[in-house]
Amino acid sequence: MAAASEEITALLVRTLVSEQFPQWSELPIRPVEVQGWDNRTFRLGDRMSVRLPSSDGYVPGLVREQQTLAILGASFRVAVPRVVATGAPSAEFKRPWSVREWIEGHTLEAVEPPERETAISTLGDALRELQGCGTAGGPWAGRASAYRGCHISAVAEDVQALLPLLDSRHAEGCRALWDAAVRTVWTRPPVWVHGDVAPGNMLFDSGGQLAALIDFGQACVGDPASDLGFAWLSCSLRERDRLRERLELPEDAWLRGAAWALWKALISSPHDVLAKYGRQRDAVLSDVALLTMG
């Protein structure tokens, strides 16, 4: 069994594919350049990829993602990874895994600065479309979605414990933002929530247009505010304005989105915030702290 992520190698993938899908056994296999934390991904030929959970704890997310993609595939016009085969647990790898269509594109980090606003605008269009998709059969927000899609109070224990540790530049504003956000609720019907809107989970073409959304392991039906944390974690003020223009959500949803960004910044190291979301942790906290001051 592959007990640790470093043991998931191209040789293991070759063995799994050869045993369970011999029709693809001659295709070249190579790891993708940028790997996620929950899963390891390998190219399988030119048109497919293999996705394997990096530990037992990420198996439910893989299964959940496959179910979500099956529901959304028919109604969501934005490209999402299509599962073409599901691998079974075996002696070599005791977790389910999947083979998917490969989608060409590059992440937001690789988008050229002049094209960033276009990229963010097309992302906003995609999130608006996602929120408009029918929710029948979709998984409800809760523990299985890592509380994405839930009310922001789901992470109150973390925030209340960490707010007192902020320096004087951020403490008052962040506290005010948090207090304002937790007093609001989503009053519209529940909608689809991606659950992990981050630069590495979106693919763009050479012109900065969104080509696909990926990594739906925390997708759910609920309050879309958790997806809005991206606006502070990854966006400049102008980009944040572009996202607001496209989504047309109530102001209180944006308050809760900023509170989700605050939570993520509080529980993450400066290095992790910069590496995953592309902005300095201090800048995120400063923007959030200013939101309700004035």
Domain segments of the chain as ranges: 5-101, 108-290
Note the pLDDT of residue 82.
Answer: 87
pLDDT under 50 in the chain at which residues?
Answer: 1-5
pLDDT at 67: 86
Q: What is the pLDDT of residue 65?
A: 86
Amino acid 38: pLDDT = 80
Nearest Cα to Cα of residue 225 among 207, 243, 238, 208: 243
What is the pLDDT at residue 53?
Answer: 92
Q: What confidence score (pLDDT) does residue 271 get?
A: 96
Residue 45 makes CB contacts below 8 A (sequence gap 6+) with 24, 27, 28
Of the candidate CATH numbers 3.40.50.720, 3.40.50.700, 3.90.1200.10, 3.40.50.920, the domain formed by 108-290 belongs to 3.90.1200.10
pLDDT at 219: 94
What is the model's pLDDT at position 175? 97
pLDDT score at 58: 86
Tell whether domain 5-101 is in CATH 3.40.50.720: no
Predicted confidence at residue 164, as pLDDT, reads 95
pLDDT at 294: 57
Distance CA 161, CA 56 (A): 29
Q: What is the pLDDT of residue 92?
A: 92
Q: pLDDT tens digit string along 140-173? A: 999 989 999 999 999 999 999 999 999 999 999 9
